Every structure is written in C-alpha cells, then in structure tokens.
Amino acid sequence: MNQIKILLWDLDGTINDFLATENYAIKKGFARLNLGLCTDEMVNRYSQINISYWEKLEKGEMSKHQILVNRFKDFFAEYGLPEQNADIFNKNYQIDLGDKLIFIDGALEVLQKIKKSKKIRQFVVTNGLVANQKRKLEGQELKPIFEYAFISDEVGFEKPNIEFFNAVFQKIGDIQKNQIMIIGDSLTSDIKGGNNAGIKTCWFNPHGKTNNKNVRIDYEISDLHQLLKILCI
C-alpha cells in the first residue's frame, strides 16, 4: 500500500475515553444544580439519548444548538427533572467536559510513537465543541503531538460532510488522498466521513460492534497499538 503520510484522529471515543469523561461531567452537573443522585444507569440512559441526537446532526436533521439543549430536555423529562434547567446544565456540562482528559488504553503511547517516528503528520478532526475540545488539546500531553485541530464549530461543518474534509485538505496542503487516513470509533461520522472524502479509513472498534451502516472500512482495530503495525512503525 501507499505509505500513510497524514493521520486524522477523532478525539472523543478514540483518544479520549468519552464515556468516562461524560460520566464525570453529568454527575458533577447534578451536584452543581442540586438535582439529587445521578446513578450510572441514568448516565448510560443519557448516553443513549445523546448518541441518537448526534446522529441527527450528522444526517443534517438538527442544528448543533438544538441537539445540545434538547438532549438534556429529553433526559430530564424521563426522570421527572425540571426541563428549564437544560440550558444551564448544558453550559456547565461543556465546562466540566473540558476539565477531564482520560486516555483510552494505549492512546498516548501510540500517539507519541507516531510523533517520534517523524514519518506521519497528525491532526485532530472532531465534532466536539470548541469550549471543551481546545482545553483538552492544549494540555501538556497532546499539545506537542498534533499539527492542527479541526473542530467542527470553527470549520462550519461537521463530519461526515465533505465540506468538513475539504477544509482539512485545504489546510494540510497537496497530499494524495490515498496517503491520508482517518481513525475513529464512529461509523456514521468518522468512517462515513472518510468514505465521503475518498481517504483511507481505520475503524477503532474495541467493543466488537458490527458494521451495520454500509460503510467501507479499510482497517479495523480493537487496540490502538495495532495501528502501529498498519503504519509500519
């Protein structure tokens, strides 16, 4: 295969253990507003609601502002909590998400090995919000790794839209598409986005999910260390 020269990393769920940071931020939000006990079961239910809303965003059915507040309105409604708290809860939630970076097993080691190899340029491509993503990326562990972070809020489009990737291509310069690979855990944003953009894809699938989204996957890994073999590092 052609040597990969550009690696586009999804952040949440691929580098950052998003479920762990989500659990932290939701529970802290409950404490901030004195909403009572928030159990792991409640956080898991919120996570299901959240995923369904992000899929609506990826399909262009809702704006980002709509999903950010409405997901909490739905969540609060299920548990009999005041829906008028949804807006302030979301604002606090974004702050608290930015406070935590919990690495997926092996993520930092793999990122550092790729950086040390000097063979591959690394970028972040994320649909997360500027408010929390930049704070994670400016930490001492990740700041030296990435050449640039493409955050959908700043780009003006979300993955998997081709417009998002066109902005990426414009920034990174004249590189053949078969030398660019995206790695991410989401079939609907990362892998579909890679398909739309005509680049290679690597699905990070630690939980053994099934590809039921009719997308092309060039590589599938369950452990991030497996990426090093693909990249010949």
Residue 59, pLDDT score:
86
- Sheet order of strands, 200-204 included: 148-151, 121-126, 6-9, 180-184, 200-204, 219-221
Identify the domain containing residue 25 by its residue range: 19-99
18-71 residue pLDDT tens: 999 999 999 999 999 999 999 999 999 999 999 999 999 888 899 988 999 999
Amino acid identity at 175: I
Sign of CA dihedral 191, 158, 21, 33: negative
Same domain membership, residue 68 and residue 107: no
107 and 89, same domain (yes or no): no
Same domain, yes or no: 147 and 162: yes
Catalytic pick among 10, 12, 17, 190: 10
Residue 12 annotated among the catalytic residues of the structure: no
Last residue of a domain, one of 77, 99, 121: 99
pTM score over 0.85: yes
Residue with tokens 């609506």: 56
Residue listed under structure tokens 């097993």: 105
Domain count, the chain: 2
One domain, residues 86 and 117 = no
